[in-house]
Structures are given as C-alpha cells and as structure tokens.
Amino acid sequence: MASRLGQADISRPQETTPLLPREDGDVREGKRGNSVLFRILLCGLIVSISFGVTQVPMLFVFRQMTCDAYYEHHGVPSSPTDRCAKRPIEARMAREVTILAASTTIFGLMNLLVTGWSIKRFGVKRALLIQVFWPAVRLAVQNVGVMAGSNAGILIMQGSQIITIIGGPSGYILSLNSFITDVVAHEHRTSSLGRLAGSMQVGSAVGFLVGGLVGEALSILAPFRMTLALFLLCFVYIALALPSIPHQQETMTPSEKPKGMIRFFGPLRIFAPQRWTLPNGRSSRQYGALALGVGVFLGILATGYIVMLLQMYSIDEFGFSTSANGWLIFMYSSLRGAFLTFVFPRIISRGRKWLQPSPREPSTQEVEHGREAGPQHASISPGEIEVTDPMDNETEPLIAPERNNKQETYDFDLLYARCSLLADGLLTGLAVFVSEGWQMYILAFLLPLAAGTGSASKGTILQMIPSDERVDALAGITLVENIARLSTTAVFGAVFAALAELGKIHLVFLCNAGIALLGFSVLCLSCFPPKGSKRT
C-alpha cells in the first residue's frame, strides 16, 4: 500500500514539477540555468587564457633555438646587430614552426575524434576534464624542451605534441560547444555559440598579452611554467563549478556501428547529400550541408593562419619585440572576442527578424520539428526558455512566452557566414599594402570586424541535421576546421618560408584573400531546402 501511495505521489504534480514537458537536451531551469551558461562561458575564457599564454613566447623560443642551432655550425658575427636576423634562420624557423603547428593539427584531429567518443561514453564534463588535464602534462614536457634549447629543444617541443591526441584545444572546444547546445534552446544556439567563441577569443587575447609581457619581463621560460599552473587550476575549476550532464546512450546496435576508419571519420557523414520531399511531392537530393562544409574548409584555409602570420610578419618585417607582438595579438583577439560576444548575437537576432517569413509560411525547420515532436508547445520547456539568454533579467522561471504565432527563419545565419567570409577576403587582401609597423595595429583592428563565419556555420549546420545528432554535427564541422587548419599550416607555412627566402613575404596576404573569396563563392551554393519540404 505504501509503495502504491509513493508511486501516486511521484506521478502527481508537485510544486517543483515543470508546467511544460522537458526536452531531452534540456537540463537546467531558472536562475540555475543562467548560472550554468555563465560558468561555461567563464570556463571558455580561463581555459583559452591558459592555451594562449605560450603562443607568443613559442615563436621566440623557436627563433632562439633555431638561431642557436645555426651558430653551432657557423661563426658568430661580431657586429652588435641582431645575430638571428638572417634569412636562413628565418626560413628554418618558419619550417620548424610549421612542423609544430602541423603536428598539433594532426594530433588535434585525432583528439577531436577521441573527444567525440569520450562525450558519448563518459559525458561532457568528464570529457572536458580530460581535455584540460593532459595539456598540463604536455606543458611539463615543453618546459624541459625550452631548457634544453637548440636542436634537442626543437625535437622535444615538437614531440610533446603527441600528447594532444588525448587532450588538447580541439577537444576542449568540442566539449564546450556540446555543453552549450545542451543548455540552450534551438533558436538561441547560434548566438550562444558566438558568445562562447567570443569568450574564447578574449581569453586567447589575454593569454597572448600576458605571455608576451611575462616572457619579456622575466624570462622566456616563465610563461611555460605559468601555463602549467593555470591548466591545473582550470582542472580544479571545472571539477567544482560545472555540473554533470547525463550523456546520451548510443541507440545503434553493435552490428550497425561503423568500423575501422569509417567509425573515426563518422562525423563527416553529416555533409552527405540529404534526401528531402519537396512541397510538390517530388523527391530531391539537397547539397546544402556539403557546400557549407566545403565553404567552411576554404574559409579556414584562408584565415586560419592569420594569427601566426601577423606575428611572424611583424617579427621579420618590422622587428617587433615580444611585448609588441603580444599587444598586437591581444588587440586582434580581444576585439574579435568582443565582437563575437556583444555584436554578433545582436546582428543574428536582428537579421533573423529582417528575413522573418510571413505567419502563414512555416520554416523548414519548424515543419520538421512539428512532424517529429507533434504540437509546438510540447517541445518547449521552462529550462530552455530561462537558459537562452544570460543577459536577460531574472523573472518568473516557469512562464513561457507566446510562440504559436511567432515563426522565425534561420536563413540569415547562412547569409551572415557568406558575408563574413567575403569581408575576411577583402580585408586580408588590403594587408599587402602594409609598409609600416604601426599599420599592423590598424590591420589588427579591422580584421575582427569580419568575425563570425565559424559560429554562423555551426548554427547553420545544427539546423540542417536532426536534433539528436548535435554532437556529430559539431564534431563534423570542427573536424573540417581542423583539417583546414592542418592544410593552411602546411600550405601557407611553406609559402611563407619560400617568400621569406625571396624577401617578398607580403605576397602571402594575396594568397589568403584569393582562397577566402573562393570560399565565399562556394558558400553561395549552400542553401536550405525549399519551405515546406520534409526530410525522408
């Protein structure tokens, strides 16, 4: 009897029972939901600071180690000028840094696949803890490499990157993006992903500046020791501050799971052509996701090397010091982060209203969600409503806004991605005219105004695929970004080294601009299925 009463009490509505059904991905309610989102953004900030502290000193460490290795077989000049300012040293430095960046990207690609598996197997919080702990181990090894110096130091620094397979920047970005999509509603994911990207950019900017200042004020080894301590503190923060979210169990049977290399590169299947039934009843294959993936690849190929390029160009052409380079990258990254955090979400919101369809025309996404979830109100939960915007004031946590008559298009996300990449190409092309050191700061001020291609693309791909494939969608587009970064590091690293030997480094900006414009052209081919279509 008691058990029956207990069961009845469980099924009976309580004061804390949500008024509306809870979606699978919705895990937080009310003030606690806003707090979770804020803590995730803060996590992105502090972890990015940790990753950014060694970025500027890393170039100077490699320059010094390359210089020391060169003079082991050459006579040291007696003139008081910079003994490392030689074209052979600059060219080898560019090649060694390219090898470092390429190995980081290759291992980061593997890390991305391992992280996707970890999220599904252990949950997003444990996966995030792994992605923060192992970089601390890598920093401990790099400290040894910096102290060794010369050729031995170069080998140790490059070899330490293999630890990135277990934990690194690619994995932590995927983990935080997955965290964000678990705590915000579908219609606010694009702006929230932009805020997360902005907080990461600001963190990177602070890290660049701190690393440059500390490296010049204390020693070149100090930033590496500082970063080791920062990663350990980040591990403690994540363990104590972020909640554990139940991970989704895989629904595929063992016989249905892909095997071998197909399993590891499985996230790329989201870019496969999709079959839709058009409003006229005709079946059609849609290539919007594929074109989006190719456009993102070309965009990252064009712009992914820009931070490294700005630093190396300013060192070789204008003789920037560690602190000057730190200020340059701080300016670029902080402005880019501020733009993504405060301006980008408002552009997305107003742009969507500008392209809002008439009330009689439901969007493709709403048609599909309506077909899968039934009545519109059944997919809304108070946790989603409260967590969507941390800038809003706290009000009644269980009052849902009227949404039955509000229909919003998401086409603007894709339009923004196109325009952002076009602006990137035009602004990068202008860099070829830079002839004075102070003009580098103007360039660093203008380039962030074209930010947001990646965030808008992530928001777009999340609309093109079913909601239960969010992790695979984020992993797929992040995988494309990593492959593009690997390519841009290999391609433009070699181009930079070749142009450095010819004394025409500035021409690399024209190559970047041309590929960005090509990416814009490909993105113009990406589109959503016609209104009223259904996925088949």
Per DSSP, the residues of 183-205 read HS-GGGHHHHHHHHHHHHHHHHH
Within a domain: residue 307?
yes
Q: Which two tokens stand for residue 407?
A: 């229909």
Give the range with max mean pLDDT: 225-229, 435-439, 506-510.
225-229
Q: Which two tokens stand for residue 153?
A: 């130091």
Assess contact for 236 and 343: CB atoms under 8 A: no
Within a domain: residue 251?
no
Instruction: Name residues whose C-beta falls within 8 Å of residue 310's C-beta, 6 or more positions apart in sequence.
Output: 328, 329, 332, 440, 443, 444
> H helices within 149-188, ranges in order?
150-159, 169-183
pLDDT band at 332 (very low <50, low <70, confident <90, very high): confident
- Alpha-carbon distance values, 227 to 55, 264, 434 (Å): 11, 31, 33
Q: Where are the beta strands (DSSP E) in 374-420?
A: none
Is the pLDDT at 148 greater than 80, yes or no? yes
pLDDT for res 9: 43
Within a domain: residue 14?
no
Distance CA 354, CA 375 (A): 26
pLDDT for res 82: 67
Distance CA 90, CA 94 (A): 6
| Residues spanned by the domain of 477 | 28-73+83-243+269-377+407-535
Within a domain: residue 398?
no
Is the pLDDT at 34 greater than 70, yes or no? no
pTM above 0.75, yes or no: no
Is the pLDDT at 243 greater than 90, yes or no? no
Distance CA 492, CA 503 (A): 15
Summary mean pLDDT of the chain: 76
Q: Which residue has the higher pLDDT, 190 or 346?
A: 346
Is the pLDDT at 252 greater than 60, yes or no? no
371-420 pLDDT, tens digit per residue, is 444 444 333 333 333 333 333 333 333 333 333 333 344 688 889 999 99
Residues in the chain: 536
Within a domain: residue 144?
yes
pLDDT band at 18 (very low <50, low <70, confident <90, very high): very low
Least confident of 214-223, 443-452, 497-506: 497-506
Going by the DSSP 8-state scheme, the letter that residue 82 receives in this structure is: -
Distance CA 166, CA 187 (A): 33
Number of domains into which the chain is organized: 1
CATH code of the domain containing 91: 1.20.1250.20
Is the pLDDT at 310 greater than 60, yes or no? yes
Distance CA 298, CA 140 (A): 35
Assess contact for 362 and 531: CB atoms under 8 A: yes
Distance CA 186, CA 459 (A): 9
462-478 pLDDT, tens digit per residue, is 888 776 677 777 878 87
Within a domain: residue 253?
no
CA dihedral 93→95→96→99, nearest 10 degrees, is 160
Angle at which helices 288-303 and 411-430 pack, to 10 degrees? 30
Handedness of CA 310, 312, 317, 319 (dihedral sign): positive
Within a domain: residue 387?
no
Within a domain: residue 314?
yes
- CA 286 to centroid of chain Cα atoms: 26
Residue where the block lists tokens 């339009």: 415
Residue type, 2: A
pLDDT band at 257 (very low <50, low <70, confident <90, very high): low
Q: Which two tokens stand for residue 341?
A: 């955090």
Is the pLDDT at 483 greater than 70, yes or no? yes
39-66 pLDDT, tens digit per residue, is 888 999 999 899 888 887 888 888 888 8
| H-run or E-run covering 34 | helix 30-52
Distance CA 438, CA 528 (A): 44
- Alpha-carbon distance values, 343 to 351, 411, 413, 463 (Å): 12, 19, 14, 22
